Structure 1
């Protein structure tokens, strides 16, 4: 009898879920039940806004900050992966929401799935990344404990899943209108780029080498393959040389291969997390002179310095903190200008970021997030 009762309870939890929120507080009036399907195609029935969310990537705070004035207030746990945010952005969040420093820690999407820490945090919802590789068996274990698992994706297939993921966040938090407002803002700018790329000649696809986390170690070279940032390059009318040999969303290129392809444009990504390694540093807390000096340093490395793109001044640096989030529209606009400067001369990613800061973000992005070789 006890076994039968236990099975029934688990089935009930798996079939429907009511937010615990702030201990039986009534759900907000604007948070009607919403039928959701996550990016794995898993149907999820939710009722009311979530107030205890566990995230496995700190950059989800940026996504939540686009639609909610205090994203930290929604969290019950996070992976404490400050390197993904950058220390200055983390400090900004702490000044607004000091409780962030004391939230329980769970496993990051960059590492092994940690069931115990997630269960101990007792969230209403576990917001997990598609790239984390969490298995259906692990999801079943989490949901058997009464925790809803929702899979989102801003990384693996951004063009397929980013808008969908942001809508999921809007539904989870009762901020559907805010999510739709940002989606419309981004879509308008995406359409401008797509329309111009459609008018380009088919053979006008400059080759691009994007080195992710440039200078993180002596090895070369981290690169997007099919999906991920490579989709941005393709979207703006470039040809990502990494996609020709890397089948997954991310991998490594041999330096000799990069030299043999001699790409037309070189783009390095980096951020504050590369300061100790001597790699590309830019973002919050950095000025243009420092960012450019670090770009020149990574571009001067053996093999990279001889690329035509570097010799002719077509080397650029971009902050990894603005990638793998809904803020990717800023990266897309910058990439478009670098790959097709004449066609996108009037596109202004700085104005776009300023508009995002003033209209959407709860904590504005301040600092230098991209830089040119010259």
Structure 2
């Protein structure tokens, strides 16, 4: 299979996106907190110096220079920045994931999250137990003990406003997409009437991760914890970038990635497709310019992938490999699949979607190891996955998330 100009263009665009949003080397973002006057990724003494230059007329005002959010840039903004640096500020104004300016009292101690399983997992990783959560079938088994006494308040897209108000939280955290769809209009009015803030912010999207985690770290008074989470992600992503950056088109591994539904794959515009490119792979369907295509089963056989990965969304993690083996056996038994190179070479893998969650770099390590075991022979993604849970949640996670075990991938 030869790479066409369009295919090369799509891969180049995907690489540019992934390197810019996931690599600690190339990544650059402006922390969305008022007080970040110089528009870098933190708030420090350089912001005070920048404010003085604005006041003195040698710098132009920036989007986040009005630290105390009163419509003026003056000495009071310097005082606010000093308070933020010292950790004794009483309020912060942030820009959430849908572009709203939200002012809240800090540090926040009582927070309700209605962002599925991602919200609770990240709050726990930051050292905060949520006041309440939304119902979710995909709550990781390993989190159930930590959340067993936390009440639920409806679903992510249909929250129970009365139940939330009855808990009197300081803020409510929600998914960005549901906010954009108008799912929270009624609830937001009720919250506003009680002085409760609503913050839409996604932790599970690679392009949002650093900014979202750092903002939440400031709001919760957990900046060091947030920095540690970011460092963990960047360390893994830098490793992947370093080991795959010089791959030629011919060295990229042809992959068929299948999500929950039979013959449903991912294409340009989807995070998983971008991750495949970043990790040194090429989708056998990279000529289909849509993010969520359903493909012809015969085309899979004709294009003969070197690797096949099945990643169902919301697949419950278990303590044994039998359910995963059943899924892989059903794939092997598809018509014509016995002759696929991936099946004959033993490169058919089950990868639980929970390996991504709020730690996308671990999912990428699994992809990289599956695609290029020779370049990652010293890396065991399962071990790193367990390290994350031990380090940030203080639990031993021995659930079977992949099959075969990643240490055997060759």
Q: Same fold (TM over 0.5)?
A: yes
Q: Does 2:354 correspond to 1:315?
A: no
Matching residue of 1:149: 198
Aligned positions of 1:180-329 closer than 5 A: 180-213=227-260, 220-225=262-267, 226-241=269-284, 244-245=287-288, 247-248=290-291, 250-270=292-312, 274=315, 283=317, 285-288=318-321, 291-302=324-335, 304-326=337-359, 328-329=360-361
Residue correspondences, number: 314
Mapped contact 2:236–2:362 kept (Cα < 8 A): no
Matching residue of 2:103: 45
Q: Does 2:161 correspond to 1:118?
A: yes
Q: Find the aligned partners of 1:124 and 1:261 in 2 and give their Cα distance.
A: 54
Describe the shift of the 1:167–1:206 C-alpha distance in structure 2 as closer, same or farther (beyond 3 A). same
Mapped contact 1:209–1:265 kept (Cα < 8 A): yes
Q: Find the aligned partners of 2:183 and 2:241 in 1 and give their Cα distance.
A: 40
Deviation per residue, 1:145-184 (Å, 9 max, x gap): 32423222345xx331122222233233221210111111
Say which SS state the counterpart of residue 145 (structure 1) adopts. Answer: helix
- Structure having greater relative contact order (Cα 8 Å, sep ≥ 6): 1
Q: Find the aligned partners of 1:242 and 1:132 in 2 and give their Cα distance.
A: 30
How much has 1:236 moved relative to structure 2? 0.6
How much has 1:196 moved relative to structure 2? 1.4
Mapped contact 1:54–1:118 kept (Cα < 8 A): no
Say which SS state the counterpart of residue 99 (structure 1) adopts. Answer: coil
Q: TM-score, normalised by structure 2?
A: 0.67
Larger Rg belongs to: 2
How much has 1:142 moved relative to structure 2? 0.7
Q: Find the aligned partners of 1:64 and 1:74 in 2 and give their Cα distance.
A: 7
Mapped contact 1:125–1:150 kept (Cα < 8 A): yes
Q: Does 2:155 correspond to 1:107?
A: yes
Mapped contact 2:390–2:396 kept (Cα < 8 A): yes
Mapped contact 2:237–2:361 kept (Cα < 8 A): yes
Residue from 165, 178, 184 that aligns with 2:225: 178
| Alignment gaps of 5+ in structure 1 | 1-14, 17-28, 214-218, 275-280
Q: Find the aligned partners of 1:105 and 1:251 in 2 and give their Cα distance.
A: 34
How much has 1:62 moved relative to structure 2? 1.6
Matching residue of 2:399: 367
The Cα RMSD (Å) is 3.0
Describe the shift of the 1:212–1:358 C-alpha distance in structure 2 as closer, same or farther (beyond 3 A). same
Q: Find the aligned partners of 1:31 and 1:143 in 2 and give their Cα distance.
A: 30
Mapped contact 2:112–2:131 kept (Cα < 8 A): yes
Say which SS state the counterpart of residue 265 (structure 2) adopts. Answer: strand
Q: TM-score, normalised by structure 1?
A: 0.73
Q: Provide runs of 4+ in structure 1 moved above 6 Å.
A: none
How much has 1:220 moved relative to structure 2? 2.0
Deviation per residue, 1:252-305 (Å, 9 max, x gap): 33323433432221101147x65xxxxxx7x3x322465335423333233544
Mapped contact 1:143–1:149 kept (Cα < 8 A): no
Mapped contact 2:256–2:283 kept (Cα < 8 A): yes
Matching residue of 1:85: 139
| Alignment gaps of 5+ in structure 2 | 1-68, 71-85
How much has 1:139 moved relative to structure 2? 4.8
Mapped contact 2:179–2:200 kept (Cα < 8 A): no
Describe the shift of the 1:107–1:91 C-alpha distance in structure 2 as closer, same or farther (beyond 3 A). closer
Matching residue of 1:336: 368
